[in-house]
Structure 1
């Protein structure tokens, strides 16, 4: 996985937009809510939300730490792009997307499902 593959994966999901925040962080959003973040400069890793029951296990795994500033919201920071297989990346990114999408209003969720967003 690399930044271009991550962009393709995220932007293929319905209703996803991208934005640059904090100067050099590429953020992927659904309905205005971030679900995945990576740095544009250097060899930075990737942060995303996980299920509460996965957070502890992943947080103590090699090359994964609780995401700075977002750990209280069950986000992890994967420090190395090669930490997961392509299938694992797809699983966790899509799961993060679904977790954030579920917090949107029913109206926004419907608009995303109908391709209006």
Structure 2
């Protein structure tokens, strides 16, 4: 997947929106400000949240590292070309979205769960 395919996929998830922050980062979020993915405007870095139990397994893979400033919240980061296949990357982005949605109040989750 390339940068635009990742952006389109993220925006197709329920309730997803896009903002530009920090001088060059596309931020994909739900419920206003709950981030689930970050994409550098230069297109070279993608970061997103993963399951706590799988974090160490992901960062052991070639081309994947803990995301700067967000690793304590179990975010990973990778440079383009992404070291994951398109289907696996979509599954992980979908899971990141759902991890964030699961932390929202129950009334806010309506329509956002897959």
Same fold (TM over 0.5): yes
2:58 paired residue number: 58
Residues 66-106 of structure 1 show CA distances to partners (whole Å, capped at 9, x for unaligned) of 00000000000012333111101111000000000101111
Gaps of 5+ in 1: none
1:36 paired residue number: 37
Residues 39-71 of structure 1 show CA distances to partners (whole Å, capped at 9, x for unaligned) of 002x42210000011100111210111000000
Contact 2:38 2:46 in 1 (8 A): yes
Contact 2:15 2:112 in 1 (8 A): yes
2:69 paired residue number: 69
Contact 1:45 1:81 in 2 (8 A): no
The count of corresponding residues between Structure 1 and Structure 2 is 112
2:3 paired residue number: 3
**SS of equivalent to 2:82:** helix
Question: TM-score, normalised on structure 2?
Answer: 0.92
Deviation at 1:11, TM superposition (A): 0.8
Gaps of 5+ in 2: none
User: What's the RMSD between the two structures over aligned residues?
Assistant: 1.3
- In structure 2, C-alpha distance between the alignment counterparts of 1:98 and 1:112, rounded to whole Å: 8
